[in-house]
Structure 1
């Protein structure tokens, strides 16, 4: 059902009649009205504080991917992957809205540590016995 255009001749008034004066609240009773229904307006500083806190999560992701890349090449990624895990765990408690960032930093840090552990096992089980056999 469509409503008629304002300029049409069949203009209908869809508003209610005003309440009688006896049914309205007095001004004194509205002074102590609860404010829970009033929408809260955030200041610019609060918006920056809430949305701008992603530094630790971004650092965790960067360190995690660097640790992952260095973990593929050898055991050199172990310290960087450990830093990524520490940053991700700190960001988990402080940066609640950046969950995707700190969780990917945590995951890549764990994979970097697993790669470094794999290199340690490979070196200790394969390379070191070969070096000792040459003596």
Structure 2
């Protein structure tokens, strides 16, 4: 009976260890964004730049060579909000998929409006919040 329990614990620990495998440090990631408008493309580029600066994963531009895929959900909205004087506000989130296209993890949505504290650059501010959350998860 004890041997059977030890075997089950060993198998489950191996399965858990393999479940985090695609996201380990040094693996390659492909970043995908479905939106093609100018604000989303600039935010996508800012996200890639932030990930490269962090250096935890290697960003590849060839989807077939990636260990995993991050799909960005980017939404831009214009107008005056309670925290900004106008301009384009950004909301972004990320979904992490393994090579078999199975969803493995999803972030919260991070929003930013252009204001003086972020240099009136909501794209960079929203991406900074998103990458900080990812860093906390994978440090």
TM-score per shorter chain, which class? under 0.3
**Normalising by the residue count of structure 1, what TM-score does the alignment of the two structures yield?**
0.24
Larger radius of gyration: 1
Larger fraction in strand? 2
Larger fraction in helix? 1
